[in-house]
Structure 1
């Protein structure tokens, strides 16, 4: 916190700092009752009518009364990373988008509208990198029309917690009644340690998601459109650990898309009866070795905040969280959202 030469706290931010990363301290207990303080770090998304809104790294919005402030300052846009590959948010957003490609897309300025019959939110949402070329309300109306013509609810994919992410857009969507339905994190790490974790014996790699692979995939009734999305990407590989006997679903599966220096892991799933046997690690190791052979050096994956087992697995392999991402659904009558593939361990696509 900012402390003056006299030892007093100071508030060194103003409404002109909206859009910048700040750290503030506020009084959380009435004066005279112990003066308990609460610190908040995030992006200042508004300062109106005596109330500050600060968006934390995970996308949570905190409301703070201006009258409760005792200190505040600007902080660097993003903390320096201590390990893992260097990466910008925009680079990772584009890599992730190429790993789940839609069957139909259209540009709205610099925004990309994507549709794939409702299979995965990532392939059925707007990727808003840059300016839509219209005032926000007009852009949102165009988005809703485009998805409505396809019988789909409108979703916008945003991110928070890294330099260049979209805290301000998140705040504007929330003001307009858009509902945040999904929050997950994108983690990154070096690829070689993943390949070194296990030999991956018994793991079969294929260019296509065959019937056996799909039998373990949690999303059932996969359509031709879904198969196109699953098979999309610069270089796609599917991993399978066969079941204990013929005719049984695989013991474990996984998917990896190699894209330049990046290997994007997804759909790592293990038979519940075979968990804690190292199968997920073996699947990822086999895919990682293939990605290394194609020239990749870095890895990324999505993981949900409440998936403690997956987070422990990936942290142990050197992965760290880079940013959080969210899907906002248009306001209005309740609409059945696109079902997302069950990807325990790799988050919501």
Structure 2
């Protein structure tokens, strides 16, 4: 599948909205509470409209004003200007948190009828929120930021949960934007892992997305998360490109 990284990055940015945003020409400045990296980073997806070091200064000032560390999200094939990493490195920034963007044909993956055991809604219900919050490892601020971001996904959004024995066992969410559907918030309770539940949740989200006109799907997974990469590869996703966050060490 041919993918334009810059186009998909713009779609992915819309799908997981920050609480506050700004712009430096084509650079997108996202700020929330500092936990989820995507909504607390600068996405340099176009010319900043000023000399590059002045643009970096302005981005640093934006995050300082919001009381957040400055981060730059540099995606392969989408960074403008292309030599931004050289300027960042000269200022003491280093890459971290390598992530893969994986894509596939939504209409061709996990074919079949809807899974009636998976409950779909257009907003996260209390049971969905409780499981997602629990997956944050006791960090209430992190959980709240992610739940707030999920609630800001533009419509049509879908939230899926799969219950077993009266308990939420797995969940996930999707953001649909034209022909693309993005998959977010995939979680399976530890006691229910390795039972194919994530695949069922994903299948339900993709089935619904196809009904809403999506034909291609994307998701983001940490580059060192081999089990997740293997799972999604087995379901038809392939790596499209990678990205890293550049931070001051």
State TM-score, norm by structure 2: 0.89
RMSD over aligned Cα, in angstroms?
Answer: 2.0
**What is the rounded CA distance, in whole Å, between the counterparts of 1:94 and 1:291 in structure 2?**
19
Could you say which structure has the greater relative contact order, defined with CA pairs below 8 angstroms and 6 or more residues apart?
Answer: 2
Contact 1:237 1:256 in 2 (8 A): yes
Deviation at 1:198, TM superposition (A): 7.4
**What is the rounded CA distance, in whole Å, between the counterparts of 1:225 and 1:280 in structure 2?**
23
**What is the rounded CA distance, in whole Å, between the counterparts of 2:210 and 2:112 in structure 1?**
14
The residue that corresponds to 1:182 in the other structure is: 97
Structure 1 alignment gaps of length 5 or more = 1-83, 332-349
* Structure 1 segments of 4+ aligned residues over 6 angstroms from their partners: none
| Match runs of 1:324-339 below 5 Å | 324-330=242-248
The question of 1:104 aligning with 2:104 is answered no
Cα distance change of structure 1 residues 165 and 127 upon mapping to structure 2, 3 Å threshold: closer
**What is the rounded CA distance, in whole Å, between the counterparts of 1:227 and 1:309 in structure 2?**
25
The residue that corresponds to 2:200 in the other structure is: 282
Cα distance change of structure 1 residues 193 and 277 upon mapping to structure 2, 3 Å threshold: farther
The number of aligned residues is 242
Contact 1:262 1:300 in 2 (8 A): yes
Deviation at 1:224, TM superposition (A): 6.0
**What is the rounded CA distance, in whole Å, between the counterparts of 1:98 and 1:238 in structure 2?**
17
Tell me which of 114, 139, 151 is aligned to 1:231.
Answer: 151
| Match runs of 1:154-169 below 5 Å | 154-160=70-76, 162=77, 164-165=78-79, 168-169=83-84
Contact 1:116 1:226 in 2 (8 A): no
Instruction: Give CA-to-partner distance per residue, 1:9-68, whole Å, 9 cap, x none.
Output: xxxxxxxxxxxxxxxxxxxxxxxxxxxxxxxxxxxxxxxxxxxxxxxxxxxxxxxxxxxx
State TM-score, norm by structure 1: 0.65
**What is the rounded CA distance, in whole Å, between the counterparts of 1:256 and 1:290 in structure 2?**
9
| Match runs of 1:308-319 below 5 Å | 308-319=226-237
Tell me which of 35, 38, 44 is aligned to 1:128.
Answer: 44
The residue that corresponds to 1:170 in the other structure is: 85
Which structure: greater helix fraction?
A: 2
Structure 2 alignment gaps of length 5 or more = none
